[in-house]
Amino acid sequence: MAQIKQIGPGRKTTGTIDGVTYVTRNGKTYVRSSPTMPASAYNTPAAKKRQAIFKFIQMHLKYHLRTIKQTFTNKGNGSSTNRYYSLNGKALSMALDTLAELYLDGELVTITDIEAAISAYAAEHPKAIVIASKSGYQEVYLTGPWPATITLNAHTGDSTVIIIVNEYGQQTTINADGSVTVSGDQGSGSNNSESNGSGGSSSNTNPTNGTNTGGSSDIPSGGGDTPGGGDTPGGDGNDQN
């Protein structure tokens, strides 16, 4: 997919024009040829199952968006969620395979079901799903339910970053003594504490307002098996490990 740099229709266009698809990502516009597969190819049982899995992955990404933004370093022009997907797409698809079958059979699948399925898979495959991949720090894997805190240890030295997972509208503070205080429903966001490895010798409370209501440009869209989409959620080829 080529990047559009000159001034022209593609600069501000997102969509398909005359067989060419324009995609704007992080303020830059890219162009690629539109899919030529017939519509019937998207209606096969296998295609519908992949579409269901992709839908569940999008729900999972949206649910953990605040945390993923802090625990993943972008690569190239990609977003933190694209990097999360590039590292975990295969494992997430395997974790959600059974749920997709139930969904196609007419059963209701909620975000609770999705998180439970991913947690169960992570418990059986503790090195399959990466939940932190930040420059200068060791990767952290999901080994069960999403943890309340994620501790990143530096590759060298004793630098430690403690990331408070905060996706439910609560304000969390890491105190100077290392204790954690959680207040009521007073806005959303996550807070970082960077220390010398002692578990929080300094603190940085930075609550932000607003809720994650969807529609964010950080959520990958246009997944595989949907007309106009690629095989990865909004990926640009720069997010591979």
For residue range 28-49, what is the model confidence (pLDDT) as tens digits? 777 776 666 666 666 788 999 9
Amino acid letter for position 195: S
> How far is it, in rounded angstroms, from Cα 98 to Cα 115?
13
**CA-atom Rg of the chain in angstroms:** 20
- pLDDT given at position 78: 82
The residue-averaged pLDDT of 74-89 equals 90
Contact 61, 69 (CB under 8 A): no
Residue 96 · residue 58 · CB < 8 Å: no
User: In the chain, where are the structural domains located?
Assistant: 2-33, 40-132, 140-195
Write phi, then psi, for 11 (nearest 5 degrees).
-65, -35
**Using CB atoms within 10 A of its CB, is residue 88 exposed (0-12), middle (13-18) or buried (19+)?**
buried
How much is the pLDDT for 23? 74
Confidence bin at 99 (pLDDT 50/70/90): very high
Instruction: List, in sequence order, every residue forming a beta bridge with 195; answer none if it has no partner.
Output: 160
The pLDDT, as a whole number, for residue 161 is: 81
Query: In whole angstroms, what is the distance from residue 84 CA to residue 18 CA?
Result: 33
At residue 17, the pLDDT reads 61
Cβ neighbour number for residue 162 with a 10 Å cutoff: 19
Residue 82 has pLDDT above 70, yes or no: yes
pLDDT exceeds 60 at position 3? no
Q: Which two tokens stand for residue 35?
A: 């899919």
- State the chain's mean pLDDT as an integer: 72
* Best CA proximity match to 159, nearest among 137, 143, 174, 181: 137
| Residue of higher predicted confidence among 5 and 215 | 5
What is residue 183's three-state secondary structure?
Answer: coil
Q: What is the pLDDT of residues 49-62, one digit of tens each?
A: 999 999 999 999 99
Nearest-CA neighbor of 71 among 169, 205, 199, 192?
192
pLDDT 10s digits, 132-176:
999 999 999 999 999 988 888 889 887 888 887 766 544 455 555
Given this model, what pLDDT does residue 229 score? 40
Across 122-131, 174-183, 199-208, which has the greatest mean pLDDT? 122-131
CB 114 within 8 Å of CB 141: no
